[in-house]
Amino acid sequence: VKGREVIHNFSLTAARGDVIAIVGRTGAGKTTIINLLMRFYDPDGGRIMLDGVDISRYTRAGLRGCFTMVLQDTWLFAGTVYENIAYGKPGATREEVERVCKAAKIHSFITRLPQGYDTLLSDNAVNISKGQKQLLTIARAMLIDSPMLILDEATSNVDTRTEHVIQQAMTTLMRGRTCFVLAHRLSTIKNADKILVMEGGDVVEQGTHAQLLAQKGMYYNLYKSQFESY
């Protein structure tokens, strides 16, 4: 809303390779942090620095090239499996594509398709499952190999076995990258370096999993209610 301060008195330092988790109820404002990082809009006050440089000094294209995004709503297009994965890296070889697919735990599925990597996917890949789509987008992200990652780790509407495979692939993808994770199931971000807890568009708590549980505040209540629901 124009004229309303959304985030104030907030400071965060993320070191190279850190995992920063962002949690909160639906509508809490988790995407606000991501929108600011990606310069979908600029802050009215304060600064966001990347390697010591204010991100406003980067071109938007240059800044966004530093990030890879894997979101809950996957995006694939009508074309072959190979074309969908290689999309983020023009000229990628078949060997490169197969390497990342093996790392993303999707290679064996692809080889069982009628034409393997040359199998045509329908528009938005409605002819494969949600979990398989997610693994293909994870492989694409591995191929792009950006230093920073924005990850929506939701695995709703997939079975437990598929969820486990997706979590394994995401762990491989995150290795060595600075990651900002929109966390849905709090059990998946216990080892995050920092957790930001959002409510009403503001960051109300931050710390490690252990620190936040010890505070017995909002994170503690969210974690307890989620744990008891399973």
User: What confidence tens digit (pLDDT) does each residue in 169-180 have?
Assistant: 999 999 999 999
pLDDT(183) > 60: yes
- pLDDT on residue 162: 87
Q: So what's the pLDDT on residue 141? A: 95
Buried b (16+ CB within 10 A) or exposed e, 170-194: beebbeebbbbbbbbbbebbeebeb
Mean pLDDT (the chain) is 89
Type of residue numbered 176: G
Q: State in Å, rounded, how far the first CA of the chain is from the last one.
A: 36
Residue range 22-33, pLDDT digits in tens: 999 888 888 888
* DSSP letter, residue 53: E
What percent of the chain has a predicted confidence (pLDDT) above 90? 61
Q: 195 φ, ψ to 5°?
A: -120, 125
Could you give the strand order of the β-sheet that contains 19-23, starting from the edge strand earlier in sequence?
A: 67-70, 148-152, 178-182, 19-23, 194-199, 202-207
CB 81 within 8 A of CB 121: yes
Query: Could you give the CA distance from residue 199 to residue 212 in angstroms, rounded to a whole number?
Result: 15
pLDDT tier at 56, thresholds 50, 70, 90? very high
CA distance 213 to 219: 7
Candidate from 33-42, 94-103, 152-161 with smallest mean pLDDT: 152-161
pLDDT score of 124: 65
Q: 203 - beta bridge partners?
A: 198
Q: Note the pLDDT tens digit of each residue in 81-105.
A: 999 999 989 889 999 999 999 999 9
- pLDDT, mean of residues 2-29: 84
Rounded Cα distance between 68 and 87, Å, is 13
Alpha helices in 38-147 (DSSP H): 60-64, 81-86, 94-103, 107-111, 130-144
